[in-house]
Chains A and B, each alone.
Chain A
Amino acid sequence: MLHNLAQLPRYRGLIQSLVARELKARYRGSVLGFFWSFINPLLLLLVYTFIFAFVMPAPKGTDPYPLFMFCGLLPWTWFASSLMESSGVLISGGNLIKKVLFPAEVLPIVTVSANMVHFVLALPILVFFLVWYRAPLTFAELACFPLVVAVQFLFTLGCALILSALTVHFRDIRDILSNILTLWFFATPIIYSYQFAPALARRFMNLNPFAHIAISYQEILFFPGPFGHWKWLAALGVVSIVWFLAGYWVFDRLRDTFAEEV
Chain B
Amino acid sequence: MNSSSSGARPAIEVARVIKVYRRFSHRKQFATLKSALLSRSLIKNLKPDETFTALNDVSLTVPKGRTLGVIGRNGSGKSTLLKLVAGITKPSSGTVKVDGRISALIELGAGFHPEISGRENVFINGIMLGLTKREVAQRFDEIVDFAEMQEFIDAPVKTYSSGMYMRLGFAVAIHVDPDVLLVDEVLAVGDEGFTHKCLDKFAEFKRRGKTILLVTHSLGMVERFCDEALWLDGGRIKGSGDPKRIVGAYVTDVQRKEEDELAAADARAREGADTAVVSPDQPASAVLPDDPTETAAGEGDMFRAAEGRWGSREVEITQVDFHGPDGQPGHVFQSGSRVEVRIHIRAPLPVDDFVVGIGIFNADGTCCYGTNTYIEELAPESLAGDVEATFTIDALDLVEGTYKVDVAVHKIDGYPYDYHRLLHTFRVKSRVKDVGIYRPRHAWRFSGDVRFKDAQPPLSPTPRDRQS
Contacts and interface: CB of A to CB of B under 8 A. Distances in A.
Contacts of A166: 33
Contacts of B87: 101
A17, A99, A102: residue with the most chain B Cβ atoms closer than 10 Å? A99
A100 B124 contact: no
Interface centre among A21, A97, A176, A256 (most CB of B within 10 A): A21
Contact of B36 (A17, A170, A259): A170
Contact of A170 (B33, B83, B104, B115): B33
Contacts of B110: 95-96, 99-100
B72 to A, nearest CB: 20
Contacts of B287: none
Interface stretch (A23-31, A138-146, A149-157, A216-224): A23-31
B185 to A, nearest CB: 13
B133 A101 contact: no
Given A13-B132, A24-B116, A170 B127 contact: no
Contacts of B33: 166, 170, 172-173, 176
Interface size class of A (residues with CB under 8 A): 20 to 34
Contacts of A96: 110-111, 128
A73 B88 CA distance: 40
B31 interface: yes
Contacts of A256: 89-90
Contacts of A102: 111, 128
Interface in B94-115: 102, 104, 106-107, 110-111, 113, 115
B156 interface: yes
B116 A21 contact: yes
Contacts of B86: 101
A18 interface: yes
B149 interface: no
A98 interface: yes
B22 A25 contact: no
A170 B88 contact: no
Interface in B26-46: 31-34, 36, 46
B32 A172 contact: yes
A238 B107 CA distance: 42
A242 interface: no
A39 interface: no
A14 interface: yes
Contacts of B22: 260
Interface in A109-164: none
A12 B127 CA distance: 10
A99 B127 contact: no
Nearest to B90: A256
B21 A260 contact: yes
Interface in B152-185: 156
A60 interface: no
Contacts of A170: 31-33, 36
State the main secondary structure of chain A at its contact with B: helix
A117 B104 CA distance: 33
Given A169-B46, A256-B89, A100 B104 contact: yes
Q: Which of the listed residues A13, A14, A100 has the most CB atoms from chain B within 10 Å of its own CB?
A: A100
A23 B358 CA distance: 72
B412 interface: no
A176 B102 CA distance: 40
Given A101-B86, A259-B88, A28 B128 contact: no
Contacts of A260: 21-22, 89
Contacts of B133: 13, 17
Contacts of A28: 115-116, 156
Interface string B50-69: 00000000000000000000
Contacts of A176: 33
Contact of A259 (B34, B89, B113): B89
Contacts of B102: 101
Interface string A83-113: 0000000000001111111100000000000
B397 interface: no
Interface string A17-54: 11001001100110000000000000000000000000
B111 A95 contact: yes
A13 B126 CA distance: 11
Contacts of B83: 259
A141 B309 CA distance: 97
B144 to A, nearest CB: 18
B123 interface: yes
A28 B116 CA distance: 8
Contacts of A100: 88, 104, 106-107, 110-111, 128-129
B259 interface: no
B120 interface: yes
A134 B120 CA distance: 43
Nearest to A176: B33
Contacts of B113: 21, 25
A169 B36 CA distance: 11
Nearest to A261: B24
B431 to A, nearest CB: 33
Interface of B: 21-22, 31-34, 36, 46, 83, 86-90, 102, 104, 106-107, 110-111, 113, 115-116, 120, 123-124, 127-129, 132-133, 156
Interface of A: 13-14, 17-18, 21, 24-25, 28-29, 95-102, 166, 169-170, 172-173, 176, 256, 259-260
6 contacts: A13-B127, A13-B133, A21-B120, A95-B111, A98-B107, A99-B104
